[in-house]
Amino acid sequence: MSEPAGSGARTSRIAAAVTAAVLFAAVGIVLALTTPWNPLPGHVPGGHAAPDPALDFSPGEIARSRAFDSAVNPPAYAGLVAGLVVVLALGLSPAGSRLVGWTTARVRRWPLRIALAAVVLTTVLRLCGLPFDIWSESVLRRYGVSTQSWPAWLVDQLKSLGVTWVIYTVALLLLYALVRRFPRYWWAGAAGGGFALVVAVSFLYPVAVEPVFNRFHPLPKGDLRTDLLAMASRDGVPVEDVLVADASRRTTSLNAYVSGFGSTRRIVVYDTLLKSPRDRIESIVAHELGHAKHNDVLWGTLVGALGVAGAICLLQLLLTSPRLLRRAGVDVPAEPRRGTGASDPRSAALLLALVAVATQIGTPVQNLVSRHIEARADAHALDLTRDPGTFASMQHELSVRNISDLAPDPVEYLLWLTHPAGPERIAMARDWARMHHAPVPPPLRDR
């Protein structure tokens, strides 16, 4: 819609700006108070151990890690740049509005136009990224990380696209309904709806989305299951079950994770992990119990919901800019009316471009916070198992099997790394051992 005139419009813009500032301040406060900036507090006798790949990884393992990193980075960076270029080209030029207008020209009802716009735009963006995804998958196959056939991989891509269609269609339908009904104060309802949608997705993801990509079954009865549940009980973490994901049909990598909260919280281990020694499995599950113990998913959901609500408030300021709307090829009539300006379905491309920019700006902050949270979960695993030697050997195995980057550069830390690098995690195990007068894990490269 056009730039509203009058005190009511100015009041709305000021209110949106103030609300955005309050919400982002709340994000900052929550992050400042809940992020474990010092995940292993206390004095380390002799000083902190320095992360050193050469101390724990053989020359062959280091060379393989570097080679893999050199092979997988080009498609990752190229895909990121290409994706941003395409979404910005669609959103900040008439190309996106023309595409939406052309594909929805014969559709009269606005909800169907919005849904079709969401499907068309997300499909175009996915197709533009597909060559880089294929390139990346080829690298994973060459290094033996991926075990999927190309048809199975393609099915996963289609499933992922389907999930994207559903999420974006629901979000855009709710947003445009509010913009049409409340042209000045739509952002207030949208911010609340965005907050609720993030919480709902986080809660339902384990039971609604994860089964689309993996099959899960309870860890079979036996000593391992008994020991893991006993460890969770000893830790004071209510865990009804430990699930196993059939990850081996896609990958050889090792992993475990915790997702959901409340009644949907679950600890999941890859079936590939079950081939590791029991004490190493217990070490990695103890790490996941650390996430559950500190309600990391719940706090992450809260931060994400507040961030989305704040971003929606900022959208009000951007989507009421006649200059930005005209740049995107959206009509801005002198007298605003329903279905024009921001409420025009053709503005969907601009909206997705703004979301892409906001997501990319927030990624380095998210990664920074995530690395500290993962380090706290590592410290929790060490406190729970009291076995730094096994923890170090598990991190070595994870790094080698997953061909992790052993010495990431600053750009990789900003853009990709959600976990500390393997050598950093092993160094933490040595720090913990010194702090607790336990045997310090010796160099692992010669084992």
* Residues 262-280 pLDDT 10s: 777 888 999 999 989 999 9
Confidence at residue 336, expressed as pLDDT on a 0 to 100 scale: 56
Query: Which segments of the chain have a pLDDT < 50?
Result: 1-5
Order of strands across the sheet that contains 216-218: 216-218, 242-245, 266-270, 256-259
Look at residue 235 and tell me if it is in a domain.
no
C-alpha dist (Å) from residue 282 to 10, 287, 316, 359, 418: 58, 9, 49, 35, 22
Give the contacts of 237 (CB within 8 A, at least 6 positions apart): 289, 292, 293
Any domain includes 80:
yes
Question: For residue 276, is it within any domain?
Answer: no
54 within some domain: yes
Whether residue 228 is contained in a domain is answered as: no
Which pLDDT value is given to residue 353?
A: 95
Q: How many Å is the Cα radius of gyration of the chain?
A: 24
pLDDT at position 335 is: 55
pLDDT of residue 111: 93
Give Cα separations from 247 to 47, 210, 244, 255, 372 (angstroms): 40, 12, 9, 9, 26
Residues 6 or more apart whose CB falls under 8 angstroms from that of 437 comprise: none
- 1 lies in some domain: no
User: What's residue 440's pLDDT?
Assistant: 96
> Which pLDDT belongs to residue 12?
85
Domain count for the chain: 1
Let me know: does 315 contact 187? Beta carbons within 8 Å: yes
pLDDT of the residue at 1: 40
Q: Show the domain range for 74.
A: 7-216+281-435
User: Is 223 within a domain?
Assistant: no
Q: Does residue 258 form part of some domain?
A: no
Helix (H, G, I), strand (E, B) or coil at 270: strand
Percent of the chain predicted with pLDDT > 90: 76
According to DSSP, the residues that pair with 244 across neighbouring strands are 217, 269
